[in-house]
Amino acid sequence: MKRFATIFAIIAILATLHSLVNQAGANNPNADTVTVAQNSQQNTDSGDEEVSASVFQGLKKFWMYSGFKNAKIGHIIMIIVGLIFIFLAIKYDYEPLLLVPIGTGILIGNIPFVTLEIGKTMGLFAPDATSGLKLGLYEQGSVLNYLYYGVSQGIYPPLIFLGIGAMTDFSALISNPKLLLLGAAAQLGIFATFMGALLLGFLPSEAGAIGIIGGADGPTAIFISSKLAPHLIGPIAIAAYSYMALVPVIQPPIMRLLTTRKQRLIRMRPSRAVSKTEKILFPIIGLLLTTFIAPSALPLLGMLFFGNILKESTVTNRLAETARTSLIDIVTILLGVTVGASTQADVFLTSQSILIFVLGAISFMVATAGGLLFAHFMNLFLRKENKINPLIGAAGVSAVPDSARVAQMMGLKEDPSNHLLMHAMAPNVAGVIGSAVAAGILLSFLL
């Protein structure tokens, strides 16, 4: 009995304790909360670690995509070149309408970014990816690539020529047709540089595209490069426009070297008045004659003379005004920015580019000298009253109207009353025609 009483007492005590524990649990809900909190803390710590890892990966990916990570010395060099272009345009007024868009384009084209190839090696793009961020000018589908289509396919240059034609007054050339020969003589630089490029190992098509720099005609240089050497459009276009902008720097020393003070003082007879009929007939006859000689230059010459017909007919003033203002301004912006952007460091900074700039400088100097020397040659056969001031021979390069202004400036330095601008415009506009014809001739031989 005592044993049963002891067992019963133990069971009663256990039952009492169990009931007390349950009652305490009911009255104190924090007991389960503590357990849940402990589990929750463990989950929170794990989540914090995942968030931290995610933030770190995001920052790392941001750094990998940034320009600071992908910048190379070539990008820095080209950005400095772009800044120099903008500086020259703003500070010294060197062809600002060209150098500001080109300089800005150089900056845009040399902002470092992750290319498709680099992105694959970094694991940012899938191994089988066929397109990257579509930012660069040479990346299919990018905005810059679409805008560059007008350069690579030779669309912008004829539109530029349309605007030039609508601006140009051929009266000086019509009144003194023999000055056309000075524009033709200045094209000597094109063919001399063509031969020089061949000697340096360039392919005939590449040499032809490089030689056209001597004409100091950016649109023509782009047009012929797009046909003969598309991979050299950037260096050739930059060289051509650079030397166009530097006409006031490059030409005067050559002009002083190849002329005497007595020759620089020559006064030319005033130009005769040109009738409206002559002004209308000139672009029509010029169009037919030049394009029969060089059909390959039809897009350039056709648009040049078409623009002049719009101007001189006087019945299409609205079209002429559009061509010489809004249209040419828009095309100049697009052409300048895309040509500048084409100078990506990995494409532009090559030994070939350096040779192109050297050859371009030689070409431009030979073209200037050719016009000056041919003026001397013409004077051997002209009467004293019909002598040509040889300074206007330098205007035979087609940097309109800068080379004509340089001739005017050099003449005024010797004689403040000797105005050569209108006389110089004749070989200047002849140079535009001559460089386009020369381009057509090269295309017919090299295509």
Other CB atoms within 10 A of residue 331 CB: 20
Instruction: Name the 3-class secondary structure at 142.
Output: coil
Give 389's DSSP letter.
P
Q: Are 283 and 203 in contact (CB under 8 A)?
A: no
Gap between the Cα atoms of 98 and 296, Å rounded: 26
Q: How much is the pLDDT for 130?
A: 52
**Is 366 a member of any domain?**
yes
**Is 2 a member of any domain?**
no
Gap between the Cα atoms of 320 and 312, Å rounded: 9
Residue where one domain finishes, among candidates 119, 145, 171: 145
**Percent of residues, the chain, with pLDDT higher than 70:** 85
Residue where one domain finishes, among candidates 118, 145, 172: 145
Q: How much is the pLDDT for 122?
A: 62
237 and 344 in a single domain? The answer is yes
Q: How much is the pLDDT for 60?
A: 73
Gap between the Cα atoms of 219 and 32, Å rounded: 83
Q: What is the pLDDT of residues 390-425, one digit of tens each?
A: 999 999 998 888 999 999 999 999 999 999 999 999
Token code pair at residue 184: 């033709």
Residue where one domain finishes, among candidates 92, 111, 145: 145
Q: Are 243 and 361 in contact (CB under 8 A)?
A: yes
**Is 33 a member of any domain?**
no
Q: How much is the pLDDT for 68?
A: 87
**Is 254 a member of any domain?**
yes
Triad 360, 366, 368: Cα angle to 5°: 105
DSSP codes of every residue in 271-302:
PPP--HHHHHHHHHHHHHHHHHH-GGGHHHHH
125 and 183 in a single domain? The answer is no
109 and 229 in a single domain? The answer is no
The confidence band for 1, taking pLDDT boundaries of 50, 70 and 90, is very low
**Is 288 a member of any domain?**
yes
Q: Which of 113-122, 160-169, 249-258, 267-276 has the lowest mean pLDDT?
A: 113-122
C-alpha Rg value of the chain to the nearest Å: 37
Domain hosting residue 115, numbered range: 56-133+140-145
190 and 271 in a single domain? The answer is yes
64 and 173 in a single domain? The answer is no
**Is 1 a member of any domain?**
no
Res. 40: pLDDT tops 60: no
Separation in Å, CA 216 to CA 212, 267, 439:
8, 27, 12
- 16-25 burial string, b = 16+ CB within 10 Å, else e? eeeeeeeeee
Query: Residue type at 18?
Result: H
Gap between the Cα atoms of 344 and 144, Å rounded: 12
234 and 158 in a single domain? The answer is yes
Q: How much is the pLDDT for 17?
A: 40
* Structural domains in the chain (count): 2
79 and 181 in a single domain? The answer is no
> What average pLDDT does this structure show over 24-36?
46
Token code pair at residue 117: 């190839």
Gap between the Cα atoms of 188 and 6, Å rounded: 131
79 and 172 in a single domain? The answer is no
For the chain, the average pLDDT equals 86
92 and 152 in a single domain? The answer is no
280 and 403 in a single domain? The answer is yes
Gap between the Cα atoms of 15 and 6, Å rounded: 14
**Is 48 a member of any domain?**
no
> What average pLDDT does this structure show over 197-206?
93
How many residues are there in the chain? 447
> What average pLDDT does this structure show over 62-86?
89
Query: Any idea which residue has 């190849």 for tokens?
Result: 258
Res. 302: pLDDT tops 90: yes
Q: How much is the pLDDT for 48?
A: 63
Gap between the Cα atoms of 129 and 133, Å rounded: 11
Res. 180: pLDDT tops 80: yes
Q: How much is the pLDDT for 132?
A: 61
Res. 123: pLDDT tops 70: no
Res. 121: pLDDT tops 70: no
CA 264 to chain centre: 37
Q: Are 72 and 112 in contact (CB under 8 A)?
A: yes
Q: What is the dihedral of CA 104, 110, 116, 121, to 10 degrees?
A: -160
Q: Are 286 and 161 in contact (CB under 8 A)?
A: no
Query: Any idea which residue has 């009492």 for tokens?
Result: 16
Q: How much is the pLDDT for 338?
A: 95
Token code pair at residue 442: 């090269």
Q: How much is the pLDDT for 320?
A: 97
Q: Is the dihedral of CA 410, 414, 416, 422 positive or negative?
A: negative
163 and 307 in a single domain? The answer is yes
Gap between the Cα atoms of 235 and 340, Å rounded: 10
Res. 426: pLDDT tops 60: yes
**Is 87 a member of any domain?**
yes
DSSP codes of every residue in 26-77:
HH-THHHHHHHHHHHHHHHHHHHHHHHHHHHHHHHHHHHHSHHHH--HHHHH
> What average pLDDT does this structure show over 182-206?
92
Q: Which of 28-37, 257-266, 278-287, 415-424 has the lowest mean pLDDT?
A: 28-37
Q: Which has more pLDDT, 119 or 11?
A: 119
263 and 116 in a single domain? The answer is no
- 50-76 burial string, b = 16+ CB within 10 Å, else e? eeeeeeeeeeeeeeeeeeeebbeebbe
Q: What pTM was estimated for this model as a whole? A: 0.84
Res. 357: pLDDT tops 70: yes
Res. 12: pLDDT tops 50: no
